[in-house]
Amino acid sequence: MQVKVFSDYDAMSKAVADMVAKQLAEKPDSLICFPSGDSPTGMLKHLVDAANNGDVDLSKCAFVGLDEWVGMDENDFGSCKYYLKHNLFDKLLTQPKEVTLFDAKAPDLEAECKRINKYIAAKGGLDMMIVGIGMNGHLGLNEPGTPFDLYAHPAELAPITIEVGQKYFKSETKLTGGITLGLRHLAESKIPVLIASGEKKAGIIAQSLEGEVCKDVPASILQTLQHAVILLDEPAASGLTKE
């Protein structure tokens, strides 16, 4: 894995957006996965600006969503679909060729996971998969204890995920479960990317990148991925001991 540290959040965000732009310049029909949450907001802003200025062409690429809260869709403030709609798709002058997101209201979530898995496989896998990291080391909604070899799957939410997840909603919201791409998708992605910012993430970043590789810390899988790229701002990297 390659770790890159930037002076601040905006510099890190610009670097991630530049990685996406480079990928699309080299392969315009790339399949890319974006997360939702606090970490990718700056990256999406830079990418939207670049696309609307004509510096990046999104018209031939395909996007697939990382995860979703069970029972929610784009009309639910705080949902992943709502986030991507308002921070990316609604702001683009030209839309991507394809957008495939989880239907977290589907009556059969296992079948929905199979649909997403089949879609990714038919595309030849993910060209780039960008993830943030939770305070417990989760990637997407792959919570502690999740096997590294799973593709998309329904997920039982850890208590801290339910607690921290409340920040995305206007009022206290019952979160009953999740649906997410799996850690195997990350491992098989041609370019797996982790982004993290802020001092509050320093501890889990250090544990994930320098601690034991185990399923109790899902993000520790990154230590096994030589092709992974980790982009951090200085506060998030402050707990690392290795150069």
Spell out the domain ranges in the chain: 2-237
Residue 229 pLDDT class (50, 70, 90 cuts)? very high
What is d(CA 20, CA 30) in angstroms, rounded to the nearest whole number?
10
What is d(CA 66, CA 71) in angstroms, rounded to the nearest whole number?
16
Asked if residues 131 and 183 have their Cβ atoms less than 8 Å apart, the reply is no
Residue 37's pLDDT is: 87
What is d(CA 76, CA 51) in angstroms, rounded to the nearest whole number?
27
46, 67, 112, 185: the active-site residue: 67
Residue 167 pLDDT class (50, 70, 90 cuts)? confident
For residues 121-134, average pLDDT: 97
46, 112, 136, 153: the active-site residue: 136
Residue 227 pLDDT class (50, 70, 90 cuts)? very high
46, 138, 153, 185: the active-site residue: 138
pTM: predicted TM-score of the whole model, two decimal places: 0.95
For residues 147-159, average pLDDT: 95
Average pLDDT, the chain: 95
What is d(CA 138, CA 196) in angstroms, rounded to the nearest whole number?
12
Question: Helix 41-52 and helix 9-26: axis angle, to 10°?
Answer: 50
52 is catalytic: no
**Residue 11: is its pLDDT beyond 90?**
yes
CATH annotation of 2-237: 3.40.50.1360
Percent of the chain at pLDDT > 90 equals: 88
143, 153, 185, 233: the active-site residue: 143
Asked if residues 126 and 208 have their Cβ atoms less than 8 Å apart, the reply is no
**Residue 173: is its pLDDT beyond 90?**
no
142 is catalytic: no
Residue 194: both structure tokens together = 């982790």
Residue 243's pLDDT is: 56
Asked if residues 98 and 62 have their Cβ atoms less than 8 Å apart, the reply is yes
- 53-108 residue pLDDT tens: 999 999 999 999 999 999 998 988 988 999 999 999 999 999 999 999 999 999 99
